């Protein structure tokens, strides 16, 4: 796609006989947040390392901000900010010292360094810790400092490789807010994650990678719509010591309101509905009239996990992070 911030065509990387990245194509528009979603070992980090010039592709090509990662790596490095999976920080330095070093490495004139560093440190909420050695920082503080360092030269494209893996909900929430702010400011963000919710919350578009190949791509809403309609999961109450309610009978009672899902064991019945929450009342009423007591009912919309399962035949382990404290 001409004018793309990130343009990848047939990108490959092999290690011996192992194809870590197996011919992926993608394009990220300027100002877009692109979520690169997949389980551990899917090829996310290998892809990012190629895009940030740390690893040479063994096939295909990639251009960042119009420059080829293999033949013009210096031009690429000037235009990107990188926060890799493990916040690679010098634990003996203070936050401020690291920011100033990063600024020097990016050729920022000395007179502007201190102010720029202080601004970014404040932005990520580390002003009080700026004079402390990074070795005393928590994991969340290190990630925030890493992000601030990646932003020191106002990059055109920011690469965040699993920025919230291992973080507590509060730290994750802070980083999510910062990514949203970057999006609002028009920064292109290439975000890898194994967390479905993270991709869903932050990304304008999502590419799902599995075994080195992109298996699905689109907006979160479009991908979920591909999988299908929302589902009502109903739990029927037992009546004292009586036998379990007859799920088959209950299913027949509510069948007119949607499509019964297969494999609803025991006291549970599931129904795919067109209308979402609007279907709940008539379904409960129908069950009541048929003599069932509804113990619980939940509207389950398709998730990116469903999309992933649909496209790959398996689910991402540990795909759900602890819920952020506030989003």
Chain contacts with other proteins (rule: CB under 8 A): 52-56, 74, 77-78, 80, 82, 84, 86, 88-90, 92-93, 97, 101-102, 104-107, 133
The residue (of 97 and 310) whose beta carbon lies closer to other proteins is: 97
Indicate the angle between helix axes 110-123 and 139-150, nearest 10 degrees: 140
Rounded CA-CA distance 193/176 in Å is 12
Structure tokens at 222: 């479009």
Q: Which two tokens stand for residue 98?
A: 């690291």
Give whichever of 19 and 77 is closer to other proteins, judged by the CB atom.
Answer: 77
- DSSP letter for each residue of 69-106: TTT-HHHHHHHEEEE-SS----TTSBHHHHHHHHHHHT
Locate 251 and state its tokens: 């299913």
Nearer Cβ to other proteins (88/225): 88
- 102 versus 173: smaller Cβ distance to other proteins: 102
What span, in angstroms and rounded, lies between the C-alpha atoms of 82 and 69? Answer: 14
Residue 80 or 227 with smaller CB distance to other proteins: 80
| Cα gap 190→5, rounded to integer Å | 10
Nearer of residues 48 and 283 to other proteins, judged by Cβ = 48
CB 273 within 8 A of CB 230: yes
Nearer to other proteins, 106 or 183 (CB): 106
Name the token pair of 114.
């201190």
Nearest approach in angstroms of CB 195 to other proteins is 21
Q: Measured from the CB of residue 6, what is the shortest distance to other proteins in angstroms?
A: 16
> Considering the complex, what minimum distance in angstroms separates the CB of residue 52 from other proteins?
5
Name the minimum Å distance from CB 250 to other proteins: 56
Q: Which is nearer to other proteins, 86 or 295 (CB)?
A: 86
Output the smallest distance, CB 145 to other proteins, in A. 12
The counts of H helices and E strands in the chain are 11, 14
Report residue 304: phi and psi, to 5°.
-65, -25
- Cβ atoms of residues 30 and 1 within 8 Å: no
- Give the nearest distance from C-beta 66 to other proteins in angstroms: 16
The span from the CA of 25 to the CA of 10, in Å, is 5
Report whether 35 contacts 193 (CB < 8 A): yes
Dihedrals φ, ψ of 297, to 5°?
A: -145, 135
How is the beta sheet containing 6-15 ordered, strand by strand?
Answer: 18-28, 6-15, 59-64, 67-68
- Residue number, 110 or 241, with CB nearest to other proteins: 110
Enter the tokens of residue 101. 């070093």
């Amino acid at each position: 796609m001409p004018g793309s911030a990130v343009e990848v065509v047939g990108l490959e990387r092999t290690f011996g006989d192992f194809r870590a990245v197996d011919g992926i194509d993608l394009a990220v528009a300027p100002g877009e947040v692109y979520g690169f979603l997949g389980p551990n070992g899917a090829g996310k980090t290998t892809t990012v390392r190629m895009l940030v010039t740390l690893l040479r592709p063994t096939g295909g090509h990639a251009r960042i901000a119009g420059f080829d990662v293999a033949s013009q790596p210096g031009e690429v490095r000037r235009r990107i900010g990188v926060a890799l999976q493990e916040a690679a920080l010098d634990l003996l330095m203070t936050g401020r010292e690291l920011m100033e070093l990063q600024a020097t490495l990016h050729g920022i004139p000395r007179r502007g360094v201190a102010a720029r560093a202080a601004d970014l440190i404040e932005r990520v909420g580390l002003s009080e810790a700026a004079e402390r050695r990074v070795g005393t920082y928590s994991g969340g503080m290190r990630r925030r400092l890493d992000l601030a360092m990646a932003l020191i030269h106002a990059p055109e494209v920011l690469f965040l490789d699993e920025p919230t893996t291992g973080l507590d909900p509060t730290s994750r929430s802070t980083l999510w807010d910062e990514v949203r702010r970057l999006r609002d400011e028009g920064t292109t963000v290439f975000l890898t994650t194994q967390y479905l919710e993270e991709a869903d919350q932050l990304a304008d578009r999502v590419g799902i990678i599995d075994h080195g190949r992109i298996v699905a791509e689109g907006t979160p809403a479009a991908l979920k719509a591909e999988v299908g309609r929302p589902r009502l999961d109903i739990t029927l109450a037992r009546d004292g010591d009586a036998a379990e309610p007859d799920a088959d009978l209950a299913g027949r009672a509510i069948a007119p309101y949607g499509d019964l899902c297969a494999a609803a064991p025991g006291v549970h019945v599931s129904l795919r509905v067109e209308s979402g929450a609007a279907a709940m009342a008539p379904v409960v009423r129908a069950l009541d009239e048929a003599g069932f007591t509804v113990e619980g009912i939940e509207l389950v919309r398709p998730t990116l996990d469903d999309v992933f399962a649909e496209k790959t035949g398996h689910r991402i382990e540990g795909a759900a992070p602890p819920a952020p404290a506030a989003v």
